C-alpha cells in the first residue's frame, strides 16, 4: 500500500469519526431540548392552575397582542380573500360552476386559510415579541431579580403570555375570517354583481358547526404553541445581546414550523370524523 492510500484511509477514518461524534452531539442536544421543553410545559400547567391568578396581566397581554397584530391581519386577510377568489374563478368558470365560488372560498377560509394566515402573522409579531422581551429580561438579569424578591416570575411572565396568546388567537381568527370573506365578496360582486345577502346565504349554507369549532380549536392550539415557544426561547435565552436576537428568531421559526404540523394533524383528524 503506497503513501497516498494510507493517507486517504487515515483521512476517511478521521472524517467518519468526526461524523459519528457530530451526530452523537446533535442527538444528545435534541434529546436534552425535548426534556427541557417537557419540563417547561409541565411547569406551565402547574403554575397555571395554582392561585393566585394574574388576571390583570392576562388582560393586558391580550390587549397588547391583539392590538399589535390587528392592522396586519386586516390588510393580509382582505388581500387573501381577494386573491383566492380571483384565482379560483377561472377554474370554476371552465366547468360552468361560477355559482359555487362563495361556497368554495368560505370553506377554504374557515377551515384552513383564516387560521393559518392569522397564526403565521401572530408567530411573527407575537412570538418574536415574547422571545425578545423575555430574552432581554434574562440578559439584564431582571428575571433573576424577580426570583430573588419572590414575585413568581414564571407565573407572571410566562403563564400570562401563554394564556393570553391561547385566548386571543381564536378571536383574531374569527375577525380574520370575516375580513377575508369581505374581500371575497368584493371580487364576487365584481364578477357577477351579486348581492351581499345572496353571498352571505351561500357562505352560511356551506359552513358547518364542525368547521367553526375545529377552526377555533386549531387557532387555540396555534396560540398555545406560539406562546409556549416564544416564552421558552426567551426565558432560557443565551447571555449577551446576541441571545435576544437568537431567542426572537427561534420563537418565530419553531412556532411557524409547528403551526403547519398542527394544521396537518388536525386535517387528518377531521377527515376521520367527517
Written as tens digits, the pLDDT of the chain (274 aa) is 455 555 546 545 545 545 556 565 656 776 777 788 888 889 899 988 888 888 899 999 999 998 888 899 999 999 999 998 888 887 777 777 677 888 888 888 998 889 999 999 999 899 999 988 988 888 888 888 888 877 788 888 999 999 999 999 999 999 999 999 999 998 888 877 778 888 888 888 888 888 899 999 999 999 999 999 999 988 888 776 777 888 888 889 999 999 999 999 988 888 887 6
And the C-alpha cell for 154? 414564571
CB 122 within 8 A of CB 165: yes
Q: Is 180 in contact with 113 (CB distance < 8 Å)?
A: yes
Q: Which residues lie below 8 Å from residue 112, measured CB to CB, with a gap of 6+?
A: 263, 267
Cα 15 to its chain centre, rounded Å, is 39
Q: What is the DSSP letter of 53?
A: P
Could you give phi then psi for residue 237, rounded to 5 degrees? -75, 160
pLDDT given for residue 257 in this prediction = 92
| Cα dist from 186 to 32, 110, 195, 196, whole Å | 51, 18, 10, 9
Whole-number pLDDT of residue 12? 53
Phi/psi region, residue 238 (left: phi>0; alpha: psi -120 to 50; beta: rest), is: beta
Please tell me the predicted confidence (pLDDT) of residue 8.
47
pTM of the model: 0.86
Return the pLDDT at 91: 77
Contact 178, 64 (CB under 8 A): no
Amino acid at each position: 500500500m503506497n503513501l497516498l492510500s494510507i493517507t486517504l484511509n487515515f483521512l476517511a477514518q478521521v472524517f467518519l469519526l468526526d461524523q459519528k461524534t457530530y451526530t452523537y452531539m446533535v442527538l444528545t442536544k435534541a434529546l436534552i431540548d425535548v426534556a427541557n421543553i417537557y419540563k417547561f410545559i409541565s411547569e406551565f400547567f402547574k403554575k397555571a392552575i395554582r392561585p393566585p391568578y394574574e388576571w390583570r396581566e392576562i388582560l393586558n397581554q391580550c390587549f397588547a397582542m391583539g392590538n399589535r397584530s390587528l392592522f396586519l391581519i386586516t390588510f393580509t386577510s382582505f388581500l387573501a380573500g381577494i386573491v383566492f377568489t380571483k384565482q379560483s374563478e377561472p377554474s370554476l368558470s371552465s366547468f360552468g360552476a361560477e355559482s359555487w365560488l362563495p361556497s368554495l372560498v368560505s370553506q377554504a377560509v374557515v377551515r384552513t386559510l383564516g387560521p393559518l394566515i392569522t397564526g403565521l402573522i401572530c408567530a411573527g409579531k407575537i412570538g418574536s415579541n415574547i422571545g425578545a422581551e423575555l430574552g432581554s429580561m434574562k440578559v439584564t438579569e431582571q428575571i433573576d431579580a424577580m426570583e430573588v424578591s419572590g414575585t413568581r416570575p414564571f407565573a407572571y411572565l410566562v403563564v400570562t403570555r401563554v394564556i393570553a396568546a391561547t385566548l386571543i388567537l381564536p378571536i383574531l381568527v374569527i375577525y380574520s375570517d370575516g375580513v377575508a370573506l369581505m374581500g371575497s365578496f368584493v371580487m364576487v360582486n365584481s364578477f357577477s354583481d351579486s348581492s351581499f345577502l345572496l353571498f352571505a346565504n351561500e357562505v352560511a349554507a356551506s359552513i358547518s358547526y364542525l368547521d367553526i369549532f375545529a377552526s377555533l380549536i386549531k387557532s387555540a392550539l396555534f396560540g398555545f404553541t406560539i406562546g409556549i415557544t416564544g416564552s421558552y426561547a426567551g426565558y432560557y435565552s443565551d447571555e449577551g445581546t446576541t441571545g435576544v436576537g437568537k431567542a426572537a428568531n427561534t420563537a418565530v421559526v419553531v412556532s411557524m414550523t409547528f403551526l403547519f404540523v398542527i394544521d396537518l394533524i388536525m386535517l387528518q383528524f377531521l377527515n376521520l370524523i367527517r
